[in-house]
Amino acid sequence: MAATFFGEVVRAPCRAGTEDEEEEEEEGRRETPEDGEVRQQLARKREVRLLRRQTKTTLEVSLLEKYPCSKFIIAIGNNAVAFLSSFIMNSGVWEEVGCAKLWNEWCRTVDTTHLSPTEAFCVFYHLKSNPLVVLCQCSCYVAEDQQYQWLEKPHNPGNHTQSNSCQVFWLQMVFGSCPRKNVQVTILTCRHVTDYKTSESTSSLHTPFLKALKTQNFREPPCCSLLEQPNIVHDLPAAVLSYCQVWKISAILYLCYTDVMKLDLITVEAFKPVLSSRSLKSLVKNIPQSTEILKKLMTTNEIQSNIYT
Amino acid sequence: MFVPCGDSVPDLSGCTLLMPAVSVGNVGQLAIDLIISTLNMCKIGYFYTDCLVPMVGNNPYATAEENSTELSINAEVYASPSKKLVALQLRSIFIKYKSKSFCEKLLSWVKSSNCAKVVVLSSSHSYHRNDLQLRSTPFRYLLTPSMQKSVQNKIQSLNWEEMEKSPCIPEIDDSEFCVCIPGGGITKTLYDEGCSKEIPMVILLKFVSEGDNIPDALGLVEYLNEWLQIIKPCLQCDDPSASALPWKMPSSWRLLFGSGLPPALF
């Protein structure tokens, strides 16, 4: 308990999140069949599904079971997505192989069955000339309870436990039940610089800057310095990297710390050192053209966000 | 599920499993950090689960450049084979509605590993103490029935206080009494499941408030050490204010309260 300035006594928040568990226990005791039905409907709404938009069908197996690959590159967040769009997807023909449909409180799209190109939140592509290269552009926020959905598919879909009876997992959806050790995973994402812990003040840091975290099986030298303790990463990038570490998959996460979280030219260009990595080097063709594409992307976005038009 | 770091599953039979409950002040987790760091325990595997919020970072127990680049995730298992000790560290909170599922999976793994006993390090809100508790030691213990016979005598010789029962529903006068651990996270669930599944389990907890909980963690490991004797006292300690035992704080405890302050603030 804590006393406020106005003399009230309020329940102080607990870092360990234990109030949620106590509330859950109370809710569990008071829950009526109608409450249970509402909760199940919400769980069904939060399911993650993998679709093939061209044929309007759902993928029954995980993405990497359907499209085995040796390189899997994931961009999470609008700046990382813009980087891959401008510097990697500008050359070669990329064919869409799947699109993740998901809903949570942070998504702005209501109808996720018919995603338009500008709204497409989580799309998977492979390179037509080399289908072993698969790329994922993820602009939406994948909530904690959906992240494991993103990565794996249940081993036996018929035997779900009560808690996940309707859920196809994000982790499950991409990697499937059999972790593939011969794939190299590269993850790109951004974080706000205030998340970065350092003994100096974060206001004195020169942003944006790049940091890396790699799994034990990743043998190449990273393109930037490693993320020092006590810094940590969470959300979907952490879910993917954890999966890769546990199942001994070679993976690296490139994390750009920036003070501008919306689409920003300087932040996107901060990912450029990653172009010299073994995964991306062979996919980069024309950097000056990429820079032009990036500038156009910025301008389009600025016009759209102008509240006076 | 437990996934070993190496190719084979290590044999944990007969070992004591130490684990934290994610609880007020994160005291259990800080205590486990101290134990892993002081004993220089090596990582033997991961407890891979969809019940905890994902997180990753570099080795929190790094002592040099060479060992600082090992990736760590949210639930890992460490061992000290010479002391027959295994430690499970949990580094994030539970995803909503998943704590019970986690307890079931954890205890199922404990049973299949044939651990000799489980010790859960936890904490409880200090503001919930009654008058008697306010005047006594802040440390409490709980034993499951299958543990009582083997350690009751030792515990009595240490003069430890058992966690008192309180009314299940305080608003009702003739309410039944049960063990309540407010702010203890899954401690109560683990205890109840431990009792019903006949798992030899000991809960050690301290009444704490949120804040700088490092002293609470040090207190809790010393409380544990009174019984398990994990480390021996440092005989050449000149500083009377220091802990009598050489607990080593891990490198990840730097900057616990945030980055440095901007000079312009002053």
B42: chain A residues, CB-CB within 8 Å: none
pLDDT of residue A309 exceeding 80: no
A268, two tokens? 């996107």
Taking CA–CA distances from A198, the nearest residue in chain B reads B259
Q: Band of the pLDDT at A6, cuts 50, 70, 90?
A: confident
Residue A200: pLDDT above 90? Answer: no
Give the residue from A9, A14, A30, A165 with the most B CB atoms within 10 Å of its CB, the best one to mutate: A14
Question: Are the C-beta atoms of B190 and A21 separated by less than 8 Å?
Answer: no
How far is residue A97's CA from residue B105's CA, in Å, rounded to a whole number? 35
Interface touch B58/A228, C-beta < 8 Å:
yes
**Lowest-pLDDT range of A117-131, A202-216, B141-155:** A117-131
- Write the single-letter amino acid at A277: S
Q: What share of chain B is helix, strand, coil (3-state, %, to 5)?
A: 30, 25, 45
| DSSP letter (8 states) at residue A228 | P
CA pair distance A74, A240, nearest whole angstrom: 10
Q: Is the pLDDT of residue A14 over 70?
A: no
The mean-pLDDT minimum among A86-100, A173-187, A197-211, B154-168 falls in A173-187
Best mutation target among A18, A191, A219, A242 (most B Cβ atoms within 10 Å) is A18
Would you state the pLDDT for residue A204?
81
| Contact across the interface for B96 and A199, Cβ inside 8 Å | no
- At A155 the pLDDT is 34
Nearest to B76 by CA among B49, B50, B110: B49
Q: What is the pLDDT of residue B88?
A: 97
Phi/psi class of residue B141: alpha, beta or left (left: φ > 0; alpha: ψ in -120 to 50)?
A: beta
Q: Greater confidence, B96 or A304? A: B96
Among B85, B44, B116, residue whose Cα is nearest residue B224: B85
Among A29-38, A232-241, B183-192, B217-226, the least confident range: A29-38
Q: Pick the more confident residue, A17 or B72.
A: B72
pLDDT at A159: 33
Contact assignment for B259 to A226 by CB distance below 8 Å: no
pLDDT, position A267 = 93
Phi-psi region of A248 (alpha: psi -120 to 50; beta: other; left: phi over 0): left
Residue A3: predicted pLDDT: 65
Q: How far is CA B108 from CA B77, B143, B177, in A?
A: 15, 19, 28
Is B128 touching A (CB cutoff 8 A)?
no
Say how many CA atoms lie within 13 Å of A108 toward its Cβ. Answer: 5
Is A47 exposed, middle or buried, given 0-12, 13-18 or 19+ CB atoms closer than 10 A? middle
Between A288 and B184, the more confident residue is B184
pLDDT value, residue A157: 36
Q: Which residues on chain B are in Cβ contact (under 8 Å) with A203?
A: 262, 264
Residue A180 has pLDDT above 80, yes or no: no
CA-angle at A240, arms to A202 and A22, nearest 5° = 80
B125: β partners: B208
Question: In degrees rounded to 5, what are phi and psi of residue A114?
Answer: -110, 80
Please count the helices (runs of H) and the strands (runs of E) in chain A. 10, 13
* pLDDT at residue A65, as a whole number: 81
Per-residue pLDDT tens digits for B119-151 = 999 999 999 898 888 999 999 999 999 998 888
Decide: helix, strand or coil at residue B250: coil
> What would the pLDDT profile of A78-110 be if each residue is shown by its tens digit?
999 999 998 998 888 899 888 887 667 766 555
Task: Report the chain A residue with the minimal C-alpha distance to residue B74.
Answer: A242
Contacts with B53 from chain A: Cβ below 8 Å = 144, 234
Distances (CA, A) of A22 to A132, A179, B180, B262: 48, 36, 11, 39
Residue B169 CA from chain centroid, whole number: 28
**What is the C-alpha to C-alpha distance for residues B44 and B86, in angstroms, rounded to an integer?**
9
Q: Which residue has the tokens 């009751």?
A: B152
Burial zone of A22 (CB within 10 Å; 0-12 exposed, 13-18 middle, 19+ buried): middle
**Are residues B56 and A198, on separate chains, in Cβ contact within 8 Å?**
no
Query: What local confidence, expressed as pLDDT, does residue A162 receive?
Result: 29
Ranges of residues in chain B with a pLDDT under 50 are none
Strand partners, A95: A126
Banded model confidence at residue A166, pLDDT cuts 50, 70, 90: very low
Tokens 């689409």 found at: A263
* Highest averaged pLDDT of the listed ranges A15-24, A218-227, A280-289: A218-227
CA-closest candidate to residue A224, choices A211, A208, A241? A211
User: Is B58's CB within 8 Å of A24's CB?
Assistant: no
Sign of dihedral through CA atoms A100, A104, A108, A110? positive
